[in-house]
Structure 1
Amino acid sequence: MDDFEKRRIEFYLEETDQITEVWGGESSGDENVVENDNRSDHDTDSEQSVYDLEYDHERDEITVNEMDFDNSYNESDDDVPLSMRVQYFVGKDGTKWFRKNPTQNIRTIKQNLVTEKSGVKGVAKNAKSEMESWEIFFSNPIIETIVKCTNIYIAKVRCNFSRDRDALDTNNREIKALIGCLYIIGAIKGGHRSTLDLWKTDGLGAELLPCVMSEKRFQFLLRCIRFDDIRGRDERIKVDKITHIRIQPDGPFKLDNSASSVVKRLVQPFRNTGRNITTDNWFTSVPLAIDLFNNYKLTLVGTIRKNKRQLPIEFTSIKNRPIYTSYFGFSEDKVTIVSYTPKKNKIVLLLSTMHHSSTIDESTKEIKKPEIITFYNCTKGAVDTMDKKTENYTVARKSCRWPLTVFYSILNIAGLNSQIIFQENTKIKMSRLNFLKTLSRQLMEEQLKYRLTIDLLPKTIKFRLKQYATKTNEAAGTSQRVRASGRCAFCERAKDRKTTKVCTNCARLICRDHLIETCPDCFIDM
């Protein structure tokens, strides 16, 4: 056996050793691993060797042919600059990006899989009303903290008022009513209307608002509401710049708030699940993508900023770039980058550890968008959808205090998430507008009952309070009849017994066999 034959055999033995799973371990029938023949739509390359080998008789050694990179682009070689006709590119930090995927013969794990059953989990399953769903996000301890910090500030500014009654302390009941007012104002899209207009009693304002509190008190509470103890803020702000809106646990400790650390903390519940994470250019980086892929078993797709040191200058340059062209780069760490030109003098950079080919989405026709971009556009919409839904009925009002602006945003998100939980638990379909109105009334209910006991209120407000109390009692008496029909919560599923009656306490559906009749006197004693 000559030397060439020995080297050829050694080469193929080494190549065979490299055919392992991307995330390690031996393959078995129980693991979520597929061969290239069964790849997902995002893994469209066929299995082939990385290099074509030939023997150089003059030099008596194995040499590697130049790679054929025509398939890595969506334009002909005549349109490709000379600087792009190389077998790999080098970033500023020395990272190599091959024009053709150097790891095409490696098995890939099934990616972007969701095997868990979707739905509400944990304590959220017990929420059966709008108020209970909302209190998952604004629990009583949070309300009590707001009340405590607000009263500390009120005590500080009370000396500026000539009458003590103009700067009275607040309580849980009043803070909930304040939040209910904000939800009502957002529901009628009155965030930019003056409070004087909203509190008018001539029929042009929101009739329920004057019943809850006076316009003057509403303005006072918004000015005084605080979320931290102002007495120790100067010390805390040295280690936490946003201490105005959050409480740090007792230390000492140090928490990294860099973009990559934030992502890794957020994805911790999904570790080793094989899902995909979509990020924008603030969070996306090559080291983060590699770390998530190797240590978290998660793929990442996201836009990336062109100032990253790992990116080659050929991918960030816009000079002489024809529109609708795409340049691909593949690293040995299973990271793919693409530089796409959607219009003249503009490029879009994306990174992916889920895609390992230079596939162009055929549905985009002459625009020739890479599949990475179309996948990113399909998965980035969750945040945009949430922003759109919260902005429709936002509670935000004009303010020069950024902690209050953050508080408005938290209220918007809590209102949306509580509706999702309520609908999942009760199967009652309700528009966002009706949900916010119902939630705001439930937040105001305790305050309205208290105001009804005050004798010095104006007669018009007293009359409206009594009207509201009557309507509330009537609604409570007919609540069982407006519930959609469904299966009894206590009967066996095989019986499939439908009913429209619900428990007045937990809102679960109950049939006649499980309905317990109680007189008013016994009900009070229960």
Structure 2
Amino acid sequence: MVLDRESQDSDSSSSSEDSGDEDTDFSVGQEQPESSSHEESSDDESEGEMETENAPSGWNSKNGKIIWSPTNLETLRYVPAPTNITPGPTHYAAARIRDPASSFSLFLTDEIVQLTVDMTNLHGRRSVADWREMDCDEFRAYVGLLILAGVYRSKNESSLSLWGEKYGRDIFRATMSHKRFHQIGGALRFDDKLSRPRRREDKLTAFRKVWDMWTYHLELLFNPDRDICIDEQLVPYRGRCRFKQYIPSKPAKYGLKIWAVCNVKTSYAWRLQVYTGKAGDRAEVNQGMRVALELTEGLQGNVVTCDNFFTSFALGEELLRRKIALVGTIRKNKTELPPQLLQTRRRAIFSSVFAFTLTHTIVSYVPRRGKNVLLMSTKHRTPGVSEGQKRKPVIIQDYNRCKGGVDNLDKVVGTYSCRRRTNRWPVALFHNLLDVSLYNSFVLWTTIDPAWKQPKKYRRRLYIEEVAEALIKPHISKRGRLPRSSSAADVVTDAQSAAAGPAAGPAPGPAPGPAPIPKTKCRKQCQLCTDKRRRVVSTCCKCKKPACKDHCLSICSLCFK
């Protein structure tokens, strides 16, 4: 009987141990199933109470300040706040856009043009010996030529070949001479250099006025949708600059870094901020959080998507106070993460582990063996997983859908980029200003007039060509000297006749407007040369045959009679 009692005690103890192991397998926060038998001993009840008291209440973070739960039973439901704005072009933009040229002029405003013309003329009078004053029409024509060079994919092509008679294009020679184009590009300035010592504390002082005026209109003309994206943009530049950055993951690697907020649906650049380096000798702490808060200032009800440079637990909390949700990847060295999410051993491929707080959700997804991806979201509050083969979490699907706003902007801007090689960083920023303005104005125009050139798949190229033509035409119509090339001369003549046509009445007589430009004489071969015929312009006064200087005689009018 004693042996039987001991065996019964061992069986009961083993069963209680097995039940304890089964209890630890349940996720924390779930309701545990009630026991079927109510006839338990008081000792077993006391042991069960001790086990529940010793059971962990969640996963502690590395810093011990945050407790994560494997279930979302205590997580609050996400209710998006209203944005209080209508997405798309604002009423200010819709009332002023009539054609593609007027859409682009909302970004390259008359104030920016006038400031650039004044500062360029000021520098030209100081440094260029034979400087000729530039007006606003000539500056717009200069910008139009830069845009056309981008349309023709000639950003790396020599400007001399663009003006060449054999392989060049007539529109460049018809607008201005190659010498004048280089003269304007060399004297292009955006501030008074002599007044910079008073503004030495600002590293962007050489371009600050133009930049502030331009970025103000970016926000004025467009309201973003609910989904926005924050990322960095690198303007290619390898010259001397105090805040030049090296980013090996970018195609250009060296350049000027710009923090950008883009609309996910259209990739419209809504807010931009140039990174001018660290303020003091020490590196900035929580730089990603500061930049994200500054770029989203004034917004409400939006969902921000960003990469692991910006994402943190503190950023998610601060954005929630502003009624903004956050979705982004998070680095594995963050101290607010629990160690349980970092483990990849013995985890199945395409498996997901979730962790929750009241307002935050973190998922650890294993796309392949030995690697996991961590994402944090304040928008998703449930452990949602897709039904596909890879069983991706819903957080990852939303992140993949919204993460490419700024990257797509870089792609479309680089397709028809007007940037040229330069040693001055303000000019590099000005070229990027033109590229972004062209794309943003295209978004505004196609949103207001969706049927414009709808059947064609290269609408953006047609739009850029139309904008460049509108910028060039006023200067061509005022040109007083005909270019040497006959084809370029025909372009000037046609433009001037078109500009003077509406002003001319039905009455006979010379039409008002610019004086007609005489046609240039064509070169012909000398009729008297035998071995090598020269191409000359001079002709005989009697037979009208072309003759070179070796077969011509100089005679006065008295002897000729």
- Which interval holds the TM-score relative to the shorter structure? 0.5 to 0.7
Matched, 1:153 2:136: no
SS at the partner of 1:446? helix
Query: Paired residue for 1:498?
Result: none
Cα separation, 1, equivalents of 2:368 and 2:81: 31
Unaligned runs of 5+ in 2: 1-27, 35-41, 213-278, 454-458, 513-561
Alignment check: 8 A CA contact 2:151 2:465 kept: yes
Contact 1:396-1:409 within 8 A present in 2 as well = yes
Instruction: Find the counterpart in structure 2 of residue 433 from structure 1.
Output: 461
Residue 185 of structure 1 corresponds to which residue in structure 2? 149
Cα 1:281–1:464 shift into 2, 3 Å: same
- 1:229 partnered with 2:192: yes
What residue is the counterpart of 1:242 in the other structure?
204
1:103-182 equivalent positions in 2, closer than 5 A: 103-104=74-75, 106-109=76-79, 111=80, 117-125=86-94, 126-158=96-128, 164-165=129-130, 167-182=131-146
Task: Say whether the 8 Å CA contact 2:325–2:379 is kept in structure 1.
Answer: yes
CA contact (8 A) 2:173 2:483 kept: no
Aligned partners of 1:128 and 1:425 also within 8 Å: no
Which of the residues 323, 340, 354 maps onto 2:379?
A: 354
Q: CA deviation at 1:467?
A: 2.4
- Counterparts of 2:422 and 2:396 in 1: how far apart (Å)? 38
CA offset at residue 115 of structure 1?
A: 7.6
Aligned residues with identical type, % of pairs: 27
1:354 is displaced (CA, Å) by 0.8
Query: Which amino acid in the other structure matches residue 279 of structure 1?
Result: C
**1:304 paired residue number:** 330
Q: TM-score, normalised by structure 2?
A: 0.61
Matched, 1:217 2:242: no
Residue 360 of structure 2 aligns with an amino acid whose one-letter code is V
- Can you list the C-alpha shifts for 1:312-342, whole angstroms capped at 9, x where unaligned? 445456677664343322223x111223333
- Tell me the distance in 2 between the aligned counterparts of 1:314 and 1:222: 59
> How far apart are 1:436 and its partner, in Å?
0.5
- Indicate the residue corresponding to 1:392 in structure 2: 415
Residue 290 of structure 2 is aligned to residue 264 of structure 1:
no
1:53–1:65: 8 Å Cα contact kept in structure 2?
no
SS in structure 1 at match of 2:89:
coil
What displacement does 1:175 show? Answer: 1.7
Do the aligned residues in 1 keep the contact of 2:165 with 2:485 (CA within 8 Å)? no
Matched, 1:466 2:499: no
| 1:340 and 1:349 in contact (8 A); partners too | yes
Structure 2 residue identity aligned to 1:284: T
CA change 1:58–1:442 in 2 (3 A) is same
What amino acid sits opposite 1:210 in the alignment?
A: R
Aligned amino acid, residue 282 of structure 1: F
Distance across 2 between alignment mates of 1:93 and 1:234: 50
Counterpart amino acid of residue 92 in structure 2: V
Whether the 8 Å CA contact 1:340–1:347 is kept in 2: the answer is yes
SS state at 1:413 partner: helix
Shift in Å, 1:151: 2.9
- Amino acid in the other structure paired with 1:243: T
Letter in 2 for 1:447: H
CA distance in 2, matches of 1:206, 1:316: 60
CA spacing shift, 1:319–1:52, aligned 2, 3 Å:
closer
Q: Deviations over 1:398-453 (max 9, x none)?
A: 333333222222211111111222233344423111111110011112211221xx
- CA–CA distance in structure 2, aligned partners of residues 348 and 156 of structure 1: 58
Please give the alpha-carbon distance, in whole angstroms, between the structure 1 residues aligned to 2:417 and 2:111. 24
Structure 2 distance, partners of 1:233, 1:313, is: 52
What letter is aligned with 2:135?
N
Paired position in structure 1 for 2:259: none
The residue type paired with residue 400 of structure 2 is N
Cα distance in 1 between the residues matched to 2:498 and 2:53: 84
Q: Give the direction of change, closer, same or farther, for the CA distance of 1:520–1:289 in structure 2 (3 Å limit).
A: farther
The letter of the residue matching 2:195 is G
CA distance in 1, matches of 2:347, 2:189: 54
Do 1:52 and 1:65's aligned partners in 2 also have CA atoms closer than 8 Å?
A: no
**Per-residue deviation, 1:346:** 4.0
- The alpha carbon displacement at 1:262 in A equals 3.6
Give CA-to-partner distance per residue, 1:455-485, whole Å, 9 cap, x none.
47536343320123456789x99xxxxxxxx
Does residue 335 (structure 1) correspond to residue 360 (structure 2)? The answer is yes
Cα-to-partner distance string for 1:371-409 (whole Å, 9 max, x where unaligned): 111110112233233222222211122333333222222
Separation in 1 of the partners of 2:427 and 2:345? 46
Matching residue's letter, 1:342: P
State the distance in 2 between where 1:319 and 1:394 align.
Answer: 47
Query: What whole-Å deviation, never above 9, does each CA across 1:473-503 have from its counterpart, x for those lacking one?
Result: 89x99xxxxxxxxxxxxxxxxxxxxxxxxxx
How much has 1:290 moved relative to structure 2?
A: 0.9
Match of 1:448 among 476, 479, 487: 476
Question: 2:78·2:381 contact (CA, 8 Å) conserved in 1?
Answer: no
SS of the residue aligned with 2:168? coil
SS in 1 for 2:88: coil
Letter in 1 for 2:292: V
**CA spacing shift, 1:426–1:469, aligned 2, 3 Å:** farther
CA distance in 1, matches of 2:125, 2:82: 55
Q: Which amino acid aligns with 2:207?
A: I
Which among 362, 370, 374 is matched to residue 393 of structure 2?
370
Shift of 1:131: 1.8
Question: Aligned residue for 1:291?
Answer: 318
Q: Is the 8 A contact 1:102 1:331 kept in 2?
A: no
Distance in 2, Cα, partners of 1:319 & 1:473: 79
> Which of the residues 151, 154, 169 maps onto 1:206?
169
Aligned-partner Cα distance in 2 for 1:130–1:290: 42
Say whether the 8 Å CA contact 1:51–1:65 is kept in structure 2: no
Matched AA of 1:286: F
Tell me the TM-score normalised to structure 1 length.
Answer: 0.65
Offset of 1:93 from its aligned partner? 6.1
Secondary structure at the counterpart of residue 374 of structure 2: strand
Q: CA deviation at 1:360?
A: 2.0
Shift of 1:357: 2.5
Match of 1:506 in 2: none
Change in Cα spacing, 1:328 to 1:226, as seen in structure 2 (3 Å) is farther
Give the Cα–Cα distance (whole angstroms) in 1 for the partners of residues 133 and 331 of structure 2: 50
Q: Using the alignment, how far apart are the partners of 1:128 and 1:141 within structure 2?
A: 20
Pairwise CA distance, 1:266: 3.5
Q: Aligned to 1:302, what secondary structure does the other structure show?
A: strand
Aligned residues: 393
The one-letter code matched in structure 2 to 1:92 is N
Deviations 1:113-139, CA, capped at 9 Å, x for gaps: 778544321321121022211111111
Shift in Å at residue 235 of structure 1? 4.3
Change in Cα spacing, 1:86 to 1:360, as seen in structure 2 (3 Å) is farther
SS of the equivalent of 1:208 reads helix
Q: Distance in 2 between matches of 1:151 and 1:345?
A: 63
Q: State how far apart, in whole Å, the 2-side matches of 1:359 and 1:301 are.
A: 14
